[in-house]
Amino acid sequence: MSKRDMISICDVNKEEALEIFEIAKRLKAGVKKGDFPPLLEKRCLAMIFEKPSLRTRCSFEVGMFQLGGHAVYLQPSDIGLGKRESVYDVAKNIERWFNIALARVFKNQTVAELARHASIPVINALCDVEHPCQAFADFMTILEHRGKFEGFRLSYIGDGNNVCHSLILLSALLGTHINVSSPEGFEPQKSIIEKAANMCKKSGGSYNFFRNPADAVKNAEAIYTDVWASMGQESEAENRKKIFFPYQVNKALVSNAPSGVWIMHDMPAHRGEEITDDVIDSKNSIVFDQAENRLHAQKGIIVFLSR
């Protein structure tokens, strides 16, 4: 099998995505029984970070340990991608020492270039365009709580950012109906919508955009939100708070959705901004299930790419 990367949701087809979920499901069930198959024994994962993270670092490190392998954390000062060393040189070095790599970076072009030059599989652990690992964890959580992807109704409220993009693409791949509501000027990228539209023709899923968030959640089975200002956008945070306040996921907004609607957030959550305490801590919140499934979904991705 030739080298595979996970830079975008578009790097897998539906059958392959379902295979990743099946691997993740099986591995999670094993953990609950104390069974840790050494599928990646003596294999090493390079973890290249330009941005800090709680969930990404912990879940990948623990995941490699549970699979019998080892992970090495490389912080920004260790490498200095494109500054201290070129991305090409980093790629050609790590391929000599490691079996697989991930990169959590500011720019998509960085992780794409790393994958292009490295002979080992490379995983996009977040960039400015996509966050595929998060989307796989989210849909694994949906599968556990609803038992299906096809026809599922997901509503995303807030910034049309990297998380939103991956949710749109994975929805389109799996036959899910996704509604998005964002302020003017903060919509998802047109190129992502165009890709999703083509994928929906095959899967039966759909993408719809609503300016009014209340309209977007009317038939939702799950409401998803994310921070209004991502890392690297700190200077815009105060202005964004004013723009995004009508898009806060609070009890008033949730009241427009069917009773029992699930609440989702990729975290970290800025409580009192994009989501209120009474919503994120409600009985319908599955945010910590999402966080837990980062571990298992990512193990599924690693095993799939390492075959």
Q: Give yes or no: residues 148 and 116 share one domain.
A: no
Q: Give yes or no: residues 93 and 158 share one domain.
A: no
Q: Give yes or no: residues 69 and 143 share one domain.
A: no
Residue 1 falls inside a structural domain: no
> For the chain, how many structural domains are there in total?
2
Residue 3 falls inside a structural domain: no
User: Span 47-75, mean pLDDT?
Assistant: 96
pLDDT tens-digit readout, 229-284: 876 777 888 999 999 999 999 999 999 999 999 999 999 999 999 999 999 999 99
- Residue ranges making up the domain that contains 50: 9-130+294-305
The closest of 220, 214, 211 to 260, measured between CA atoms, is: 220
Per-residue confidence at 1, pLDDT binned at 50, 70, 90? low
Residue 60 falls inside a structural domain: yes
- Return the pLDDT at 4: 97
- Return the pLDDT at 147: 95
pLDDT tens-digit readout, 182-221: 999 999 999 999 999 999 999 999 999 999 999 999 999 9
Q: Give yes or no: residues 209 and 241 share one domain.
A: yes
Q: Give yes or no: residues 273 and 299 share one domain.
A: no
- Return the pLDDT at 90: 95
Q: Give yes or no: residues 198 and 281 share one domain.
A: yes
Residue 2 falls inside a structural domain: no
Q: Give yes or no: residues 62 and 160 share one domain.
A: no
Q: Give yes or no: residues 141 and 213 share one domain.
A: yes
Q: Give yes or no: residues 158 and 247 share one domain.
A: yes
Q: Give yes or no: residues 148 and 206 share one domain.
A: yes
Q: Give yes or no: residues 138 and 125 share one domain.
A: no
Q: What is the average pLDDT score of the chain?
A: 96
- Return the pLDDT at 117: 97
- Return the pLDDT at 32: 93
High-pLDDT (> 70) share of the chain, %: 99
User: Span 73-92, mean pLDDT?
Assistant: 89
Reply yes or no on whether the pLDDT at 145 is more than 80. Answer: yes
Residue 157 falls inside a structural domain: yes
- Return the pLDDT at 252: 98
Q: Give yes or no: residues 119 and 139 share one domain.
A: no
16 compared with 82, residue with greater pLDDT: 16
Q: What is the CATH number of the domain that holds 15?
A: 3.40.50.1370
pTM: 0.97
Residue 104 falls inside a structural domain: yes
